Amino acid sequence: MVRNMVIGLDIGTSAVRAAEVDVKKNPPVLARFGQITLPSGAVRDGEIIDEQVVSDTLTELWGNARFKSKRVIVGVANQRIIVRQVEMPWMEASDLEAGLAFQVQDHLPIPVEDAILDFQILEEFPGEENERMMRVLLVAAQREMINSLVRTLKMAGLRPKTIDLVPFALIRTLALEHRLQPEVVDRADIDGLDELEKDPGTAEAIVDIGAGITNIVVHEQGLPRFVRILVAGGDDITEALSTVMGSSYEKAEDLKCHLTPERTSEEAMRVVEERLQTMVEEVRGSLEYYRAQTKSARLARVVLTGGGAQMPHLLDRMEASTGVRAEMGHPLSTVRLGKLGMAHDQIVAAESLISVPVGLALGDAL
Protein backbone atom coordinates (compact mmCIF):
# COMPACT_ATOMS: atom_id res chain seq x y z
CA MET A 1 0.00 0.00 0.00
CA VAL A 2 2.77 2.44 0.88
CA ARG A 3 4.34 1.84 -2.55
CA ASN A 4 1.16 3.19 -4.15
CA MET A 5 1.40 6.47 -2.26
CA VAL A 6 2.89 9.51 -4.00
CA ILE A 7 3.48 12.85 -2.28
CA GLY A 8 3.21 16.10 -4.20
CA LEU A 9 4.95 19.06 -2.56
CA ASP A 10 4.21 22.71 -3.26
CA ILE A 11 6.63 25.24 -1.77
CA GLY A 12 4.77 28.52 -2.10
CA THR A 13 5.52 32.08 -1.06
CA SER A 14 3.37 31.96 2.06
CA ALA A 15 3.15 28.24 2.91
CA VAL A 16 4.34 24.73 2.17
CA ARG A 17 1.65 22.23 1.21
CA ALA A 18 1.80 18.52 0.51
CA ALA A 19 -0.71 15.91 -0.63
CA GLU A 20 -0.32 12.14 -0.33
CA VAL A 21 -2.23 10.36 -3.11
CA ASP A 22 -2.81 6.67 -3.80
CA VAL A 23 -2.28 6.82 -7.56
CA LYS A 24 -3.05 3.14 -8.19
CA LYS A 25 -6.73 3.54 -7.32
CA ASN A 26 -9.27 4.57 -9.96
CA PRO A 27 -9.95 7.36 -9.33
CA PRO A 28 -6.86 8.21 -7.22
CA VAL A 29 -7.45 8.66 -3.50
CA LEU A 30 -6.29 11.72 -1.58
CA ALA A 31 -5.11 10.08 1.63
CA ARG A 32 -3.45 13.00 3.45
CA PHE A 33 -3.07 16.74 3.09
CA GLY A 34 -1.08 19.15 5.21
CA GLN A 35 0.10 22.75 5.11
CA ILE A 36 2.15 25.08 7.31
CA THR A 37 2.64 28.83 6.95
CA LEU A 38 6.14 30.00 6.01
CA PRO A 39 7.82 32.93 7.76
CA SER A 40 7.79 36.07 5.63
CA GLY A 41 10.76 36.32 3.26
CA ALA A 42 11.76 32.64 3.36
CA VAL A 43 10.49 32.26 -0.21
CA ARG A 44 10.34 35.24 -2.54
CA ASP A 45 9.01 35.34 -6.10
CA GLY A 46 8.85 31.54 -6.14
CA GLU A 47 12.50 31.08 -5.13
CA ILE A 48 13.87 29.79 -1.84
CA ILE A 49 15.74 32.57 -0.05
CA ASP A 50 16.36 30.97 3.36
CA GLU A 51 17.07 27.26 2.89
CA GLN A 52 17.28 26.55 6.63
CA VAL A 53 13.91 28.12 7.44
CA VAL A 54 12.15 26.31 4.60
CA SER A 55 13.84 23.05 5.58
CA ASP A 56 12.72 23.42 9.20
CA THR A 57 9.15 24.15 8.07
CA LEU A 58 9.12 21.06 5.88
CA THR A 59 10.35 18.94 8.78
CA GLU A 60 7.51 20.30 10.90
CA LEU A 61 4.98 19.59 8.15
CA TRP A 62 6.07 15.97 7.84
CA GLY A 63 5.82 15.52 11.58
CA ASN A 64 2.34 17.05 11.78
CA ALA A 65 0.82 15.37 8.74
CA ARG A 66 2.45 11.97 9.34
CA PHE A 67 3.17 11.30 5.69
CA LYS A 68 4.25 7.72 5.06
CA SER A 69 7.12 8.52 2.71
CA LYS A 70 9.90 11.05 2.35
CA ARG A 71 10.08 10.74 -1.43
CA VAL A 72 8.39 13.71 -3.09
CA ILE A 73 7.46 15.19 -6.43
CA VAL A 74 8.12 18.89 -5.96
CA GLY A 75 6.84 21.74 -8.11
CA VAL A 76 8.68 24.83 -9.31
CA ALA A 77 7.38 28.10 -10.77
CA ASN A 78 9.41 31.30 -10.90
CA GLN A 79 11.17 33.71 -13.23
CA ARG A 80 14.21 31.46 -13.47
CA ILE A 81 12.21 29.00 -15.53
CA ILE A 82 11.85 29.47 -19.27
CA VAL A 83 9.09 27.76 -21.24
CA ARG A 84 9.15 28.01 -25.02
CA GLN A 85 7.24 26.34 -27.84
CA VAL A 86 9.72 25.75 -30.65
CA GLU A 87 9.55 24.17 -34.08
CA MET A 88 12.29 21.94 -35.42
CA PRO A 89 12.88 19.13 -37.92
CA TRP A 90 11.31 15.87 -36.81
CA MET A 91 13.49 13.37 -34.96
CA GLU A 92 13.00 10.50 -32.58
CA ALA A 93 12.49 11.52 -28.96
CA SER A 94 15.63 9.61 -27.97
CA ASP A 95 17.70 11.56 -30.51
CA LEU A 96 16.26 14.87 -29.32
CA GLU A 97 17.04 13.98 -25.70
CA ALA A 98 20.61 13.03 -26.58
CA GLY A 99 21.28 16.28 -28.44
CA LEU A 100 18.88 18.59 -26.63
CA ALA A 101 21.48 21.14 -25.53
CA PHE A 102 22.76 21.52 -29.09
CA GLN A 103 19.27 21.66 -30.61
CA VAL A 104 17.82 24.36 -28.37
CA GLN A 105 20.71 26.66 -27.49
CA ASP A 106 19.50 29.34 -29.93
CA HIS A 107 16.08 29.43 -28.24
CA LEU A 108 17.33 30.25 -24.73
CA PRO A 109 18.26 33.66 -23.26
CA ILE A 110 20.76 31.99 -20.88
CA PRO A 111 23.83 29.82 -21.55
CA VAL A 112 22.69 26.25 -22.05
CA GLU A 113 25.35 25.01 -19.63
CA ASP A 114 23.67 27.02 -16.85
CA ALA A 115 20.30 25.35 -17.42
CA ILE A 116 18.63 22.05 -16.67
CA LEU A 117 16.57 21.11 -19.72
CA ASP A 118 13.45 19.09 -20.37
CA PHE A 119 10.99 18.86 -23.24
CA GLN A 120 7.64 17.53 -24.38
CA ILE A 121 6.92 16.75 -28.02
CA LEU A 122 3.52 18.28 -28.76
CA GLU A 123 2.83 17.22 -32.33
CA GLU A 124 4.20 16.51 -35.79
CA PHE A 125 3.27 18.69 -38.78
CA PRO A 126 4.37 19.17 -42.42
CA GLY A 127 6.77 22.01 -43.19
CA GLU A 128 6.67 24.45 -46.10
CA GLU A 129 8.26 21.84 -48.39
CA ASN A 130 6.22 19.00 -46.86
CA GLU A 131 9.16 17.91 -44.72
CA ARG A 132 8.47 16.34 -41.33
CA MET A 133 8.51 18.95 -38.56
CA MET A 134 7.54 18.89 -34.90
CA ARG A 135 6.47 21.32 -32.20
CA VAL A 136 8.25 20.91 -28.91
CA LEU A 137 7.55 22.50 -25.56
CA LEU A 138 10.95 23.33 -24.12
CA VAL A 139 11.51 23.90 -20.39
CA ALA A 140 14.78 25.32 -19.07
CA ALA A 141 15.42 25.91 -15.37
CA GLN A 142 18.46 27.76 -14.07
CA ARG A 143 20.72 25.21 -12.45
CA GLU A 144 21.53 27.09 -9.24
CA MET A 145 17.85 27.60 -8.45
CA ILE A 146 17.23 23.85 -8.78
CA ASN A 147 20.34 23.08 -6.72
CA SER A 148 19.05 25.30 -3.91
CA LEU A 149 15.70 23.50 -3.97
CA VAL A 150 17.35 20.07 -3.81
CA ARG A 151 19.63 21.14 -0.94
CA THR A 152 16.63 22.37 1.03
CA LEU A 153 14.74 19.12 0.54
CA LYS A 154 17.71 17.02 1.59
CA MET A 155 18.25 19.15 4.69
CA ALA A 156 14.68 18.22 5.66
CA GLY A 157 15.38 14.54 5.08
CA LEU A 158 13.25 14.46 1.91
CA ARG A 159 14.22 12.76 -1.33
CA PRO A 160 13.14 14.47 -4.56
CA LYS A 161 11.83 11.84 -6.96
CA THR A 162 10.89 14.36 -9.65
CA ILE A 163 10.97 18.13 -10.08
CA ASP A 164 7.91 19.17 -12.06
CA LEU A 165 6.57 22.42 -13.48
CA VAL A 166 3.59 23.75 -11.49
CA PRO A 167 1.56 24.67 -14.62
CA PHE A 168 1.71 21.04 -15.76
CA ALA A 169 0.39 19.92 -12.38
CA LEU A 170 -2.53 22.32 -12.74
CA ILE A 171 -3.59 20.66 -16.00
CA ARG A 172 -3.76 17.27 -14.30
CA THR A 173 -6.16 18.44 -11.62
CA LEU A 174 -8.18 21.13 -13.39
CA ALA A 175 -8.36 20.35 -17.12
CA LEU A 176 -12.02 19.90 -18.01
CA GLU A 177 -11.61 16.52 -19.69
CA HIS A 178 -9.96 15.17 -16.55
CA ARG A 179 -13.14 16.04 -14.67
CA LEU A 180 -15.40 14.12 -17.04
CA GLN A 181 -14.69 10.67 -15.68
CA PRO A 182 -18.08 9.13 -14.82
CA GLU A 183 -16.49 7.50 -11.76
CA VAL A 184 -15.67 10.95 -10.40
CA VAL A 185 -18.49 13.36 -11.27
CA ASP A 186 -21.93 13.48 -12.81
CA ARG A 187 -21.37 14.61 -16.40
CA ALA A 188 -24.62 16.57 -16.32
CA ASP A 189 -23.17 18.79 -13.61
CA ILE A 190 -20.23 20.04 -15.68
CA ASP A 191 -20.73 23.51 -17.12
CA GLY A 192 -19.56 23.73 -20.70
CA LEU A 193 -19.64 19.98 -21.39
CA ASP A 194 -21.88 20.37 -24.44
CA GLU A 195 -19.53 23.00 -25.83
CA LEU A 196 -16.54 20.73 -25.30
CA GLU A 197 -18.18 17.78 -27.04
CA LYS A 198 -19.40 19.86 -29.99
CA ASP A 199 -16.12 21.73 -30.44
CA PRO A 200 -13.16 19.68 -29.16
CA GLY A 201 -10.77 22.20 -30.72
CA THR A 202 -11.30 24.76 -27.99
CA ALA A 203 -8.71 25.70 -25.41
CA GLU A 204 -8.94 26.22 -21.67
CA ALA A 205 -6.86 28.58 -19.54
CA ILE A 206 -6.00 27.75 -15.95
CA VAL A 207 -4.94 30.62 -13.70
CA ASP A 208 -3.43 29.81 -10.30
CA ILE A 209 -3.16 32.93 -8.14
CA GLY A 210 -0.81 32.40 -5.22
CA ALA A 211 0.59 34.82 -2.68
CA GLY A 212 3.59 35.86 -4.78
CA ILE A 213 3.31 33.97 -8.09
CA THR A 214 0.51 33.63 -10.64
CA ASN A 215 0.74 30.66 -13.00
CA ILE A 216 -1.07 30.77 -16.33
CA VAL A 217 -1.31 27.72 -18.58
CA VAL A 218 -3.42 27.30 -21.70
CA HIS A 219 -4.05 23.75 -22.86
CA GLU A 220 -5.96 22.02 -25.62
CA GLN A 221 -7.47 18.75 -24.43
CA GLY A 222 -4.75 18.41 -21.82
CA LEU A 223 -1.87 19.35 -24.13
CA PRO A 224 -0.03 22.47 -22.87
CA ARG A 225 0.20 25.20 -25.50
CA PHE A 226 1.20 28.29 -23.54
CA VAL A 227 2.77 28.88 -20.13
CA ARG A 228 3.47 32.15 -18.38
CA ILE A 229 4.65 32.70 -14.80
CA LEU A 230 3.94 36.16 -13.37
CA VAL A 231 5.63 37.63 -10.30
CA ALA A 232 2.34 38.87 -8.90
CA GLY A 233 -0.25 37.54 -6.51
CA GLY A 234 -2.49 38.12 -3.54
CA ASP A 235 0.36 39.55 -1.44
CA ASP A 236 0.41 42.63 -3.66
CA ILE A 237 -3.10 43.48 -2.48
CA THR A 238 -2.39 42.59 1.15
CA GLU A 239 0.73 44.76 1.28
CA ALA A 240 -1.08 47.69 -0.33
CA LEU A 241 -3.88 47.37 2.22
CA SER A 242 -1.40 47.17 5.07
CA THR A 243 0.26 50.38 3.90
CA VAL A 244 -2.90 52.42 3.41
CA MET A 245 -4.42 51.25 6.71
CA GLY A 246 -1.21 51.41 8.72
CA SER A 247 -1.98 47.92 10.00
CA SER A 248 -0.12 44.62 10.33
CA TYR A 249 0.15 42.23 7.41
CA GLU A 250 -2.02 39.70 9.26
CA LYS A 251 -4.84 42.20 9.82
CA ALA A 252 -4.68 43.34 6.20
CA GLU A 253 -4.82 39.73 4.98
CA ASP A 254 -7.90 39.05 7.11
CA LEU A 255 -9.57 42.17 5.76
CA LYS A 256 -8.76 41.21 2.16
CA CYS A 257 -10.38 37.81 2.63
CA HIS A 258 -13.55 39.34 4.16
CA LEU A 259 -13.82 42.52 2.15
CA THR A 260 -17.05 44.49 2.70
CA PRO A 261 -17.85 48.23 2.51
CA GLU A 262 -18.89 48.09 6.15
CA ARG A 263 -15.44 46.92 7.29
CA THR A 264 -13.33 48.87 4.83
CA SER A 265 -12.66 52.57 4.24
CA GLU A 266 -13.23 54.10 0.82
CA GLU A 267 -9.50 54.59 0.37
CA ALA A 268 -8.75 50.94 1.19
CA MET A 269 -11.52 49.77 -1.15
CA ARG A 270 -10.04 51.92 -3.92
CA VAL A 271 -6.58 50.42 -3.39
CA VAL A 272 -7.97 46.90 -3.54
CA GLU A 273 -9.94 47.68 -6.69
CA GLU A 274 -6.85 49.12 -8.40
CA ARG A 275 -4.56 46.23 -7.47
CA LEU A 276 -7.18 43.66 -8.39
CA GLN A 277 -7.77 45.25 -11.78
CA THR A 278 -4.02 45.35 -12.44
CA MET A 279 -3.82 41.62 -11.72
CA VAL A 280 -6.75 40.85 -14.01
CA GLU A 281 -5.25 42.94 -16.81
CA GLU A 282 -1.94 41.10 -16.54
CA VAL A 283 -3.76 37.81 -16.96
CA ARG A 284 -5.76 39.21 -19.88
CA GLY A 285 -2.57 40.41 -21.56
CA SER A 286 -1.02 36.96 -21.28
CA LEU A 287 -4.11 35.31 -22.75
CA GLU A 288 -4.18 37.85 -25.59
CA TYR A 289 -0.59 36.89 -26.37
CA TYR A 290 -1.69 33.25 -26.66
CA ARG A 291 -4.66 34.20 -28.83
CA ALA A 292 -2.38 36.09 -31.19
CA GLN A 293 -0.29 33.01 -31.90
CA THR A 294 -0.72 31.31 -35.25
CA LYS A 295 -3.26 28.47 -35.18
CA SER A 296 -4.18 29.06 -31.54
CA ALA A 297 -7.47 27.41 -30.56
CA ARG A 298 -10.46 29.45 -29.47
CA LEU A 299 -10.36 30.10 -25.73
CA ALA A 300 -13.58 28.70 -24.24
CA ARG A 301 -13.12 29.19 -20.50
CA VAL A 302 -10.81 30.40 -17.74
CA VAL A 303 -10.47 28.28 -14.59
CA LEU A 304 -9.26 29.98 -11.41
CA THR A 305 -7.57 28.39 -8.42
CA GLY A 306 -5.13 29.28 -5.64
CA GLY A 307 -5.57 31.29 -2.46
CA GLY A 308 -5.75 34.58 -4.38
CA ALA A 309 -8.65 33.31 -6.48
CA GLN A 310 -10.94 33.73 -3.47
CA MET A 311 -11.00 37.52 -3.83
CA PRO A 312 -14.58 38.86 -4.03
CA HIS A 313 -15.90 39.56 -7.56
CA LEU A 314 -12.73 38.20 -9.20
CA LEU A 315 -14.67 35.79 -11.42
CA ASP A 316 -16.86 38.61 -12.72
CA ARG A 317 -13.85 40.80 -13.39
CA MET A 318 -12.04 38.01 -15.20
CA GLU A 319 -15.04 37.30 -17.43
CA ALA A 320 -15.48 40.98 -18.27
CA SER A 321 -11.80 41.43 -19.07
CA THR A 322 -11.17 38.26 -21.10
CA GLY A 323 -14.56 37.93 -22.76
CA VAL A 324 -14.88 34.23 -21.87
CA ARG A 325 -16.59 32.38 -19.05
CA ALA A 326 -14.63 32.18 -15.79
CA GLU A 327 -15.23 29.52 -13.16
CA MET A 328 -13.59 28.26 -9.99
CA GLY A 329 -11.58 25.07 -10.32
CA HIS A 330 -12.52 21.95 -8.41
CA PRO A 331 -9.40 19.78 -8.04
CA LEU A 332 -11.18 17.40 -5.68
CA SER A 333 -13.36 16.25 -8.59
CA THR A 334 -10.36 14.28 -9.89
CA VAL A 335 -9.82 12.28 -6.70
CA ARG A 336 -11.76 10.46 -4.00
CA LEU A 337 -11.25 11.59 -0.43
CA GLY A 338 -9.66 9.23 2.04
CA LYS A 339 -9.79 9.61 5.81
CA LEU A 340 -8.22 13.05 5.88
CA GLY A 341 -9.19 13.86 9.44
CA MET A 342 -10.60 17.18 8.24
CA ALA A 343 -14.10 18.56 8.71
CA HIS A 344 -16.17 19.23 5.59
CA ASP A 345 -15.83 23.01 5.91
CA GLN A 346 -12.05 22.66 6.26
CA ILE A 347 -11.91 20.60 3.06
CA VAL A 348 -14.02 23.15 1.19
CA ALA A 349 -11.83 26.00 2.42
CA ALA A 350 -8.65 24.16 1.38
CA GLU A 351 -9.79 23.07 -2.09
CA SER A 352 -8.22 26.00 -3.96
CA LEU A 353 -4.91 25.26 -2.21
CA ILE A 354 -4.91 21.56 -3.12
CA SER A 355 -4.69 21.91 -6.92
CA VAL A 356 -0.89 22.03 -7.14
CA PRO A 357 0.21 19.31 -4.67
CA VAL A 358 -2.46 16.88 -5.92
CA GLY A 359 -1.52 17.59 -9.54
CA LEU A 360 2.15 16.99 -8.77
CA ALA A 361 1.34 13.62 -7.21
CA LEU A 362 -0.87 12.63 -10.15
CA GLY A 363 2.14 13.06 -12.44
CA ASP A 364 3.38 9.74 -11.11
CA ALA A 365 0.19 8.03 -12.28
CA LEU A 366 0.78 8.83 -15.96
Q: Each residue's pLDDT tens digit in the chain (366 positions)?
A: 566 789 999 999 999 999 999 998 888 999 999 999 999 899 999 999 999 999 999 999 999 999 989 999 999 999 999 999 999 999 999 999 999 998 888 888 889 999 999 999 999 999 989 999 999 999 999 999 999 999 999 999 999 999 999 999 999 999 865 554 444 344 334 455 455 444 567 899 999 999 999 999 999 988 999 999 999 998 888 888 888 888 888 888 877 777 666 666 778 788 888 888 999 999 999 999 999 987 789 999 999 999 999 887 899 999 999 999 999 999 998 899 998 888 888 888 889 999 999 999 999 865
Q: What is the CATH number of the domain that holds 109?
A: 3.30.1490.300
Backbone torsion region of residue 223, taken as left when φ is above 0, otherwise alpha when ψ lies between -120 and 50, otherwise beta? beta
* CA distance linking residue 334 with residue 125, whole number of Å: 32
- For helices 266-291 and 234-245, give the axis angle rounded to 10 degrees: 160
Q: Are residues 101 and 8 in the same domain?
A: no
Q: Are residues 11 and 136 in the same domain?
A: no
3-class secondary-structure state, position 313: coil
* CA distance linking residue 170 with residue 214, whole number of Å: 12
Count Cα atoms within 13 angstroms, Cβ side, for 314: 29
Q: What is the CATH number of the domain that holds 300?
A: 3.30.420.40
Question: End-to-end distance of the chain based on CA atoms, in angstroms?
Answer: 18
Q: Are residues 110 and 31 in the same domain?
A: no
Q: Are residues 69 and 147 in the same domain?
A: yes
* CA distance linking residue 354 with residue 341, whole number of Å: 15
Q: Are residues 69 and 137 in the same domain?
A: no
Report the predicted TM-score, pTM, of the whole model to 2 decimal places: 0.90
- Beta strands 159-165 and 214-220: pairing type? unpaired
Answer whether residue 360 is part of any domain.
yes
- For helices 344-362 and 166-174, give the axis angle rounded to 10 degrees: 120
Looking at the structure of the chain, the number of domains it has is 2
Q: Are residues 147 and 293 in the same domain?
A: yes
Contact 217, 167 (CB under 8 A): yes
Contact 123, 131 (CB under 8 A): no
Residue 163 belongs to domain spanning: 2-79+143-235+274-365
Q: Are residues 346 and 293 in the same domain?
A: yes
Answer whether residue 246 is part of any domain.
no
3-class secondary-structure state, position 185: coil
